[in-house]
């Protein structure tokens, strides 16, 4: 998570809480989830885990996959959202997976 942000020239944490007091352990999944929840809380926004095909979307895996591909716009430009749906084990019965992933990332 932090290495991907560094490659993109972004601060390692988005929330003020973790920027001011970074976690001591190097657990990318836990750090992402803590940063995400703090970021949403600081803005007074609810945290809703999107469901695709009846399954909760793994937000960390999704974010990491999108970052590793150069960001959301790059995924859209190269039509990689269907591939991401397969990587994230979204059931094939979810015919709108690419669209739902795009909406989930933006929100």
Tell me the C-alpha distance between 48 and 6, whole Å: 27
Please report the pLDDT score of residue 3 as a whole number. 53
Res. 1 pLDDT band, cuts 50 70 90: very low
Tell me the C-alpha distance between 96 and 37, whole Å: 26
User: pLDDT, tens digit, for every residue of 77-100?
Assistant: 999 999 999 999 999 888 899 999
What's the chain's average pLDDT? 84
Angstrom distances, CA of residue 49 to CA of 4, 22, 59, 79: 22, 24, 8, 23
Please report the pLDDT score of residue 75 as a whole number. 95
User: pLDDT, tens digit, for every residue of 13-63?
Assistant: 667 777 777 777 778 888 888 888 888 888 898 988 889 988 899 999 999
CB-CB neighbours of 31 under 10 Å: 19
Please report the pLDDT score of residue 4 as a whole number. 52
């Amino acid at each position: 998570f932090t290495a991907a942000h560094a490659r993109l020239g972004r601060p390692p944490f988005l929330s003020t809480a973790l920027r001011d007091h970074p976690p001591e352990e190097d657990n990318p999944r836990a750090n992402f989830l803590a940063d995400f929840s703090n970021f949403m809380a600081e803005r007074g926004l609810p945290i809703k885990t999107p469901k695709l095909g009846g399954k909760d979307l793994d937000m960390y895996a999704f974010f990491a996959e999108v970052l590793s591909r150069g960001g959301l716009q790059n995924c859209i430009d190269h039509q990689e959202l269907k591939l991401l749906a397969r990587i994230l084990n979204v059931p094939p019965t979810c015919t709108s997976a690419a669209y739902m992933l795009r909406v989930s990332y933006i929100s």
